[in-house]
Every structure is written in structure tokens, then in C-alpha cells.
Amino acid sequence: MLARILPRLGSGASALLGPGDDAAVVAAPDSRFVVTTDLMVHGPDFRLAWSSPFDLGWKAAATNLTDVAAMGARPTALVVAIAAPPETPVPLLEGIADGLRAGLDALAPGAGVVGGDLSASRVLTIAVTAFGDLEGRQPVLRSGARAGDVLAHAGARGAAARGLALLFEQGRDASGEPDADLAAALRRAHPELVGAQLAPEPPVAAGVAAAVAGATSMLDVSDGLAKDAARIARASGVGLDFDSGALGDEPRWALGGAEDHGMLATFPADAALPEGFERLGVVTSDAGVVSLDGRPIDPGGWDPFADWDGQAG
């Protein structure tokens, strides 16, 4: 089965030795490499009635690439391990591979899949580990924001969560089961919202641009602007104050919606914001506090251990 999948996944410009031996060899010209790992599990993380195999591969690439980019690194390579039920049709695995390849081509040209593993499991599970090169720069941490910095963001705000809400509200049949036809119709009617949930197009290149522009802190917004802002606030010992006028017509979705995978960063007040970034507010000296127009807010967010209802579909 691996023999049918691996040829669909080029190993990329950084692969000194690709799949086929006990391990791969990847170039690390910077003498350091950035690494992140993430699991996508059928049930808490996706429904097969809503996501195509291509979507799953694309999203697995996109979400890991943004974690690399949020360090200010250029993504170079992935390894992918898939566990699937023994009766899984090969085209499903090929579709995941095609989505991975397309996601890499669109979001991190030159990066490839250098290795993988395929196992049996009752639950379809996709484990991606992604690598990046810092090109001589220091990594951009969550801990570097300073009072007086500008708070800025690149990417969608709330679209992925609004797409997921549409799927839960209108993408299930009368018995509550996820329905492929209803989801497809929703996606045609609201491509920018449902697409942002099922196959997001995060601003991966903005990560390197922010680092080059002197970003003092940065992270990938996976759990909503407010919850992820709180992570910068805690790590940096500062406060982050959002300007409601910059958050659009739906500040609740913008602040609370998970899975947008934009880049939230802070910059020195006199820095020119790189392309794609918009000013959302300012860094204050109120250690650990996230606020909106100066009023503290309570960051929420998704916790798969607390929030998954055990359903798949």
C-alpha cells in the first residue's frame, strides 16, 4: 500500500534521503531545525461525511506548517504516519496523500514528505511531524512581547469556527448524523466559511515575513484569538488589548473561533507591518490580561478531552 502512496508525495528540496530506508536524512543548513507534531483523529478532529480524504491531507499539512511558520521558520519537510482500519479502501489513503501534496505545494513550495508509517487501527488517525529552517534567524517565541508593541494578525478570523457551526447546524440529517450531501451543499453556499474549516489556507509565508520584520512574539492561532492571545500574555508577562473596531462585525467569532491558523504577532511600535498583517491592538503592562477596548475578557477555547462528545461519523 505504501508503494502506491509514496510516489504521490514528492520528498522535496530538503530531502537528502527520502522514504525507503530505516530513516530519512533532511538538510538543516542552519545547524538547527524546528519541529512540531500533531495528531488528527477521526471523531474529535474530523468527520468523514464532511471532510474528503483530500481535505484531511490538506488540513494535516496546513495545521503543521503553520506551527513551523509561527516560529519564523521556513517549512522544509514532513513525516506522516497514518493508522487506518484494515478495510480502508486504498483510494482513501491516496486521497489523503494527494491532499498533503497539494497543501504543501500551495502553502510551502519546495517542502515535501520525507518519510512515513502505515498501521492498522479501528480509528483513522493521521500523525504529522513538520520541520523548518530558521535561515540564521532566532526563533520568534511567545515570550518576547513588550508593553508598547503593536498587536497584529494575518489570516482569517472566525471563518473556520463559523464553518464548523454551519456543519453542526445544517450538515447533519434528521437523526443528527453527519451527512455528506448536506455538507457539500453547505460548502457550495458558503465556500469561504466551510472551506476554512475543512481545508484551511493559512498564511504560512507570513511567519517568515513577520520574523524578518522584527516580530517580538508570535503564535499560530489554533484555539481562537482570545485564548491564544492569553498564551502570549502569560509567556511574555504582558497584557494584550484588542481594539473592537479592528475585529469586524463579528467580534465574538473573531475572538473565540478556533482553527483559523492565522499568525498572531507583536511588533515594535515603529516597525512596518509585513504584507498580510493588520493591526488589532496593543501590548500593555497588565501581566497576563487579555482585554477588548481595555475591558478584560475571559478566553475560552476547545479542549478535546472536555469537549468531544464521543461521536465520529
Work out which of 86, 175, 188, 272 binds its own copies, going by CB under 8 A.
86
Smallest distance, Å, CB 98 to its own copies?
A: 20
With contacts defined by CB under 8 A, name the span among 32-40, 160-168, 179-187, 290-298 that binds its own copies.
32-40
Work out which of 7, 89, 109, 119 binds its own copies, going by CB under 8 A.
119
Cβ atoms of residues 74 and 133 within 8 Å: yes
Cβ atoms of residues 222 and 63 within 8 Å: yes
With contacts defined by CB under 8 A, name the span among 14-22, 150-158, 241-249, 286-294 that binds its own copies.
14-22
Could you tell me which of 98, 99, 112, 97 has the C-alpha nearest to residue 58? 99
- Which positions from 223 to 262 touch its own copies by CB under 8 A, shown as an x/- string? ------------x---------------------------
Which residue number, 37 or 285, has a Cβ lying nearer to its own copies?
37
Cβ-count burial 179-200 (b if 16+ within 10 Å, e if not): bbebbeebbeebeebbbbbbbb
Q: Would the annotation count 45 as a binding residue? A: yes
* DSSP for 81-132, written as a single string: EEEE-TT--HHHHHHHHHHHHHHHHHHSTT-EEEEEEEEE-SS-EEEEEEEE
Q: Would the annotation count 220 as a binding residue? A: yes
Which residue number, 77 or 186, has a Cβ lying nearer to its own copies?
77
With contacts defined by CB under 8 A, name the span among 47-55, 183-191, 271-279, 300-308 that binds its own copies.
300-308
Sign for the CA dihedral angle at 124, 57, 195, 219 comes to positive
Question: Which residue type is seen at 13?
Answer: A
Q: Would the annotation count 179 as a binding residue? A: no
Which residue number, 38 or 105, has a Cβ lying nearer to its own copies?
38
Which helix H or strand E contains 263, and what residues bound it?
strand 262-267
- Name residue 19's beta-bridge partners: 21
All three cell numbers of 61, joined, read: 499539512
Smallest distance, Å, CB 28 to its own copies?
A: 4
How many residues are listed for the chain in this entry? 313
Residues that bind its own copies (CB under 8 A): 1, 16-17, 20-39, 41-45, 66-68, 70-71, 73, 77, 79-83, 86, 114-123, 125, 127, 129-132, 134, 139, 141-142, 218-220, 235, 304-305, 308, 310, 312
